[in-house]
Homo-oligomer: A and B are copies of this chain.
Amino acid sequence: MVSDVKTVLVTGATGFVGHYVVDQLLTLDGVRVITTARTKPATPRLKTQFIPFDLRTDASDVDLFTYFNKPDLVIHLAWQGLPDYKSLAHINTYWLQHYRFLTNLLRNGLTNLTVTGTCLEYGLQSGCLSEALPTQPTTAYGLAKDTLRKALDLFLTGQNVSFRWLRLFYMHGKGQNPRSLLAQVEAAAQRNEMVFNMSKGEQLRDYLPIDTVANYIVQAALQTTVTGVINCCSGRPIAVRTLVEQFMEEHQYRLTLNLGYYPYPDYEPLAFWGNSQKLETILTA
């Protein structure tokens, strides 16, 4: 990977995705990693500089670009209030904090920015979803991310800033939210339960292991040829039931799946996955 990025600021660095992204960045020669989050992690990470920041702070009179030591690149992963995708706080409070944070950095000199979005920006659209599709979010979280992206696009019009918006799909791996599906399978297995209650499991999704997602984020962030919205996805739909069965097989868990116990969520279509062509132009470059 060739890049003239020497200093990267990673926001949300103590989160699930942030942890793996920092791991990936630390494998790169000549890249200095600055991390930020609301509170200092209990165990500080070696080889990174931590600078605390609370997004709720009114920093309108502060030059945040200088405060964070003028990074060559910002990878903005931070977001609050998840996984409650329906909380209105996403749209009436959180998104504007992110807009103000990022436009503060940009006004003060940042020229290279990667932000993570979400497949929930697509809303209830089915099938293989390409970046060019008009977004139609139906959740407060999806709308908040969608509004942030569109407002940043307007802010950046005519400015010489390299901007990538990585739309994350589903991911799994160690450290994920205990309310997520595979974490619950694992917990049930470790409690020696016999049965795992789940939905019918026929819904088709786009899943990636978290270290792969982190690798894609870093690869996309460290290049400037491909910009704009980029699906960060596998491009291959998998039935949720198959995903669970593969995971149990891999870990030799012997739970019986009680399919159809839970209804499907009302904020997701039955079958959707990402078109990964744009991402692949980065990965094969």
Contacts and interface: CB of A to CB of B under 8 A. Distances in A.
A66 interface: no
Tally of this chain's copies: 2
Nearest to A99: B92
A146 B135 CA distance: 12
A92 B88 contact: no
Contacts of A96: 92, 96
Interface string A72-104: 000000000000001010011000100110010
A9 to B, nearest CB: 22
Interface class of chain A by DSSP = helix
Nearest to A139: B154
Contacts of A103: 92
A119 to B, nearest CB: 16
Interface residues of A, number: 20
Contact of A151 (B92, B99, B100, B135): B92
A154 B143 contact: yes
A139 to B, nearest CB: 8
Contacts of A140: 151, 154
A155 interface: yes
A174 interface: no
10 contacts: A88-B154, A88-B155, A91-B151, A91-B154, A92-B151, A134-B135, A139-B154, A143-B147, A143-B151, A143-B154
